[in-house]
Amino acid sequence: MDATLGSVVHVAVPRPLRTTFEYSLPSDLPAPLPGTRVRVPLGKSHVIGIVTALSDHPTRSMKPIEDILDAAPILTADLLKLASWLADYYHHPIGSVYAALIPTLARRGNPTEFEPTLIWIAVGKSTPTSLDRAPRQRRLWESLSKTGPVTTNEARKFGATLPLLRKLEEKGSIISQVERADYRISPSDIKPTSEQTAAIRAITANLDQFGVHTLYGVTGSGKTEVYLRVIENALKQAKQAVVLVPEIALTPQTTARFVERFGAAGVIHSAESDRERFRTWARVASGEHQILIGTRSAIFSNFRDLGVIVVDEEHDPSFKQTEGLRYSARDVAVIRAQMLGIPCVLGSATPSLETIANVDRKRYSMARISERPGSRKMPTFRVVDIRGERLNGGLSQPLLTVIRRHLNNNAQVLVFINRRGYAPTLCCSRCGWRAECDACDVRLTLHQSPKLLQCHHCLRRYPAPTACPECASEEIVALGAGTQRVEQTLKTEFPDVPTLRVDRDTTRSQTQLQNLFSTLTNPSRRILVGTQMLAKGHHLPNVTLVAVVNADNGFLSPDFRGPERTAQLITQVAGRAGRAERPGEVWIQSYDPANPNLVALTEYGYDGFTKTEMQHRRIAQLPPFTVMAMLRADASNPNESETFLLQLLAIVATFDVEALGPVTAPLARKSGRFRHQALLVSRRRSEIQRALEAVENKVPNQNSVRWSIDVDPIDTF
Ligand code: ADP
Ligand code: ZN
Ligand code: ZN
């Protein structure tokens, strides 16, 4: 009979299901190893799943697997282990975990072997005479000779086709080569400072052992140089390295530093096509790519022999995925390093309170890089009390005066305001009507050029009324200020100074952003107005003033992480200004100048802020002193989502977990669905985990409610 060894195949199928499925192994197929793709019947359809385990003794009649897609597993054993950790820790269906782990094309069953990419190179110095009578071929040769080696795809830009390239190759006018990532270690003339040396030693001394090393240094202090040296060590031992960066920081410049030092690097980001992503994934799996730089999902890559993980800007909220598998790439990096027994480096100019707490508890080590190479001074802070001030498009008179002073010194000014659009509220001063979204319970933001109202949650657009829809009064006023309004004010106040705006409306791509920043290397007077997009990137030595239009929204935010996020943003924006002979100044407008967070930050810097805030978190019993999980539900009927959450909380009630809610979500209605949430808090992670397990097992049957579990949520409000 079929009760032979390994005759039961456990398969994770690409469905939001919390269990794997058992299939039998037909006698004409070899036993597939865990990590192999198989085709299996599921209900009335056929799907591609991943083998997670083999066992004996079939317990009931099972359907057979239909096909095995891979000769060898496409997932390494450590990724299989990580997948079950992810399913347990984040309480996410195992089938969906695998779907998140594997590139789209692998999920669809594409072969993982690739046709090699060919690059084409022109031979000789002058146009070969053999091409005299073939004008198309001659033009192609001339283009290739001008551009240097290009891939077939790139060559299409100047009219090449594969047959045409082959013809030139036959004539010996061009040659083709298989493109390969060409790794080497280039010598560098940078001599590490003593702080850098200490950090590099601490990490590389234990390259074959798990450890989390926090690298705390201001922007420009030389953290990347430390990463480069650590990676150099890994490469020398023929090991791979991965560098995780926030979405916004993955620029050609970032990659260029690694390529310059090591000859090549694989890159994964969200803008890549499925095909490119799959190819990079396969090249990492084959070991051709020794270094991978990428945004959060790069942590799931199929490394052949990973030696070190680097997370740059570890505090950045973009490392947390906020839908589907709601993982923190930083936390997964630490777990993966632990599973592999390798070091994990967490770098930041403004470490998260979670990381600082882990250092305090001696779980992570910390190396500080306090000086900048060449000892550039840190900027000084000033708070502008704007109580009773008349604001001009969001800017107070003292702030405008200091901006003028810096511009008169031929310097550049950064104006930071974390809100895009013209004004956050449009209302009628007669009857109090406010412009709100039809589908969400939020106010619409007024935008100018084109003039319209936009919902920043569902992106619906509406025409801006010229009269009040309620009382027909024409006294409609725009309250508050966004980037567009501040820009307009600055253009009126300083008509001779070029003013540039940086937000999601003006700057869509990284390349655009970098081009914009590179115009600032020219030391002429300029004003840059923008959102948090200004916080990341290279040092701007000609900027001597950073003006923060409003710090109160962040410091007084109802989300407990608001102050932390605000202090990080201000510190990062501030860190971009100034140079040795002209240190920067940072001026912050506030209606609440005595706010302890603001005072701590401006008087004692980020360290001062974290001390104050850590104390507050301890007293208020907030993370990192407690563990949280958020239950969210939405339905087209508000009673349904609330009742559903009440049922979940009844399940949780037997555990040592505090439940807050259910309450309507801060955005009570989004895209027409009513949203509720409930927060679970406990001092013990194990207790939260057990409670969530119970929820998973006993979740009531429902069709009309969508719900999710978010472990370690970053948005609690
Ligand atoms: P961070 O990653 O902390 O922002 P970087 O590593 O990018 O800092 O360093 C900032 C600049 O200082 C870079 O141009 C880098 O080449 C240079 N640099 C780093 N370390 C040194 C050093 N020890 N000596 C001289 N220059 C250095
Ligand atoms: Zn009105
Ligand atoms: Zn909306």
Chain length of the chain: 717
Output the CA 469–ligand 1 centroid distance in Å.
Answer: 57
Query: What pLDDT, on a 0 to 100 scale, did the predictor assign at position 6?
Result: 62
Reduce the DSSP state of residue 679 to 3 states and report it: strand
Query: What pLDDT, on a 0 to 100 scale, did the predictor assign at position 234?
Result: 93
Q: Could you identify the atom of ligand 1 that is nearest to the CA of residue 193? A: 23
Closest ligand by atom to 669 CA: 3
Output the CA 434–ligand 2 centroid distance in Å.
Answer: 8
Nearest CA residue ID for atom 11, ligand 1 = 220
**pLDDT under 70 in the chain at which residues?**
1-6, 114-116, 371-378, 510, 537-538, 579-581, 717
CA distances from 699 to 18, 641, 705 (A): 12, 13, 12
Output the CA 514–ligand 1 centroid distance in Å.
Answer: 19
Residue 424 near residue 443, CB atoms below 8 Å: yes
* DSSP states of 79-141: HHHHHHHHHHHHT--HHHHHHHHS-HHHHTT--S--PPPEEEEE-SSS--GGGTT-HHHHHHH
- Pairing type for strands 380-385 and 499-502 reads unpaired
Nearest CA residue ID for atom 20, ligand 1 = 222
Ligand 1 pocket, mutate which of 195, 225, 293, 571 (most atoms under 8 A from CB): 225
Single-letter amino acid code for the residue at 47 = V
Closest ligand by atom to 216 CA: 1
Output the CA 60–ligand 2 centroid distance in Å.
Answer: 70
* DSSP states of 512-577: HHHHHHHHTTS-S-EEEEESGGGGSSS-BTTEEEEEES-SHHHHT-SSTTHHHHHHHHHHHHHTTB
Report which of 405, 402, 403 is spatially closest to residue 413, judged by C-alpha positions. Answer: 403
Helix or strand run (H / E) with residue 9? strand 8-12
Query: What pLDDT, on a 0 to 100 scale, did the predictor assign at position 45?
Result: 92
Residues contacting ligand 1 via CB (< 6 Å): 190-193, 196, 217, 219-225, 373
| 424: CB partners within 8 A, 6+ apart | 443, 445, 446, 479, 480, 482
Report which of 111, 31, 112, 35 is spatially closest to residue 73, judged by C-alpha positions. Answer: 35
Query: What pLDDT, on a 0 to 100 scale, did the predictor assign at position 2?
Result: 42
CA distances from 40 to 33, 35, 63 (A): 15, 15, 8
Query: What pLDDT, on a 0 to 100 scale, did the predictor assign at position 377?
Result: 64
Report which of 260, 244, 365 is spatially closest to residue 296, judged by C-alpha positions. Answer: 244
Residue 555 near residue 597, CB atoms below 8 Å: yes
Residue 229 near residue 369, CB atoms below 8 Å: no
Cα 180 to chain centroid distance, Å, stands at 28
Output the CA 225–ligand 1 centroid distance in Å.
Answer: 6
Output the CA 482–ligand 2 centroid distance in Å.
Answer: 23
Nearest CA residue ID for atom 10, ligand 1 = 220
Q: Could you identify the atom of ligand 1 that is nearest to the CA of residue 225? A: 6
Alpha helix ranges (H) inside 205-246: 223-236
Residue 318 near residue 296, CB atoms below 8 Å: yes
Nearest CA residue ID for atom 17, ligand 1 = 222
